[in-house]
Structure 1
């Protein structure tokens, strides 16, 4: 029997959740995705510091002060993305600054700035997914960008309202955060058994997947933020799964069977209806887990973006 990673790849597109080029080469995923936290981890490694120096040198010829550091951070994300594109045949996701999560126009402008930087590097911008936090403002930015031909990855998905709004906006892909949903429920109910298909993050992704397939939304569902390999096996058959190097290695070292768990033919219980801004905000307010984790995720990515800029400022 083949290893579990190879089995998974038969019916799910595997994406590497890392900016580590060595890991990409080892596991040979179809796509790669990054975020400020992963870029920070990458640049903290000595072998990748030359990319930071290159970004700073380039930015110094363009502007100065804090604007230079912000521009250097964008350039660094693009340099890492460009190298990832050389290693994977598919898409690379590059994230918009989380501090813009509640500003639609600024998000749109930043997306185009990132694509211009990719274009200046000679990269194929059709292989870049612009990654945006799934606030109402971020989803509306994605609506505009998708109409402009820019494909988007809506991230930090924790609620059905977010998933629905993203699909209705025509988002190319969404990233539900499986493990962070589990974290919240384990903290609230520490004695509860959340193993296997009782995992609330797994249940959420299945619900979204079946809803999208039943009602023929083309938006891709990509499970993310896994805490263990069982969550991954429970979602075998999902459109895409973005997986950390540690869990990729665990799957590659395991040989038990990985049957397909998600099937497009399973009907969803919900029927579609256009979600207004007021309905979206109310449903998010009623969902404490989703509200907590979305806010926490934005704060974390913003903090790591600031740490990254502080490193660049100190070089």
Structure 2
């Protein structure tokens, strides 16, 4: 049995891509997208009719050019999500505009709009996770959304403080970024490399996983942003892992044995005290890696969001000219 099949027997495998063909090939349980993946998807031929429908829909709603562009992006994200949900049996994660990462009210408004768009195109709410950056403001927005029945995936998670606050908020799922944690340590320390067991990203996810299980939190831990299959194998048994198509292919081609790396400890019944905002901000900012990677991740998503908007605006002008 190949390693991908073995992994599926102990962990929910999620495709980290908007590529329909890759999703068909690897048949994951769930899929997740972000502005970077949507930007790539929007350049694929099969999505061009959907882009035109998104442009036409936004134009019928009125508003300024910027408002129409933002709506077009949300409609496109929901449309791509629906296409993916025709292949995967589980859920799709769709991200709120990263420029709203420090605005709770605006995040709530955009998340509700995304869910409304999904409803308009016939997607049931239980099949969607709204992705929000793991800032304090994003976590507070997710807490409200969860109470409303809108389930959330808290992304760009690098610190234990972020993980604790997400669990306190009762979010459905978190996405700790394994590979980006490794990137930082390779750049900012004297280490030339790490074994999977020593990998700081792997160790971060393991710490979060064990803390959640010991204290009875129901939030799903979904490791993300992998750089190699060794990181994935070192987290076999985690609740869920979101994996890029190239790494899925490597796992599928490997016929060697994959042992379980994570086993949930017993729930101690001890409830951890909620993390106050001041403690969250201090602990997160005291972690140089987490502070830097969160800011960098938001900036990268914003750049890709802007590039996607520019592409859609150009196509909209051509659309109007025709």
- Given that 1:34 and 1:93 are in contact with CA atoms closer than 8 Å, whether structure 2 keeps it comes out as yes
Summarize deviations over 1:70-110 as a string: whole Å, max 9, x none.
11000000000011111111111000000000000111111
Give the paired residue count. Answer: 313
Change (3 A) 1:271 1:182: farther
CA shift at 1:47, angstroms? 2.9
Q: How does 1:153-172 map to 2 (within 5 A)?
A: 153-172=153-172
The aligned counterpart of 1:174 is 174
Summarize deviations over 1:199-253 as a string: whole Å, max 9, x none.
0000000000000001100000000000001100000000000000000001011
- Given that 2:185 and 2:191 are in contact with CA atoms closer than 8 Å, whether structure 1 keeps it comes out as no
Partner SS state of residue 198, structure 1: coil
**1:104, 1:41 → 2: CA distance?**
28
- Given that 1:15 and 1:240 are in contact with CA atoms closer than 8 Å, whether structure 2 keeps it comes out as yes
Unaligned runs of 5+ residues in structure 2 are 316-322
- Given that 1:211 and 1:267 are in contact with CA atoms closer than 8 Å, whether structure 2 keeps it comes out as no
Unaligned runs of 5+ residues in structure 1 are none
The aligned counterpart of 1:76 is 76
**1:295, 1:4 → 2: CA distance?**
35
The aligned counterpart of 1:28 is 27
Summarize deviations over 1:97-156 as a string: whole Å, max 9, x none.
000000001111111100000000011121100100000000000111111111100000
Per the normalisation by structure 2, the TM-score is: 0.95
The aligned counterpart of 1:136 is 136
CA shift at 1:50, angstroms? 2.0
**1:272, 1:301 → 2: CA distance?**
33
The aligned counterpart of 2:100 is 100
Partner SS state of residue 102, structure 2: coil
CA shift at 1:267, angstroms? 8.1
Partner SS state of residue 238, structure 2: coil
- Given that 1:104 and 1:141 are in contact with CA atoms closer than 8 Å, whether structure 2 keeps it comes out as yes
CA shift at 1:274, angstroms? 1.4
Per the normalisation by structure 1, the TM-score is: 0.97
Instruction: Give the alignment's Cα RMSD to 1 decimal.
Output: 1.4
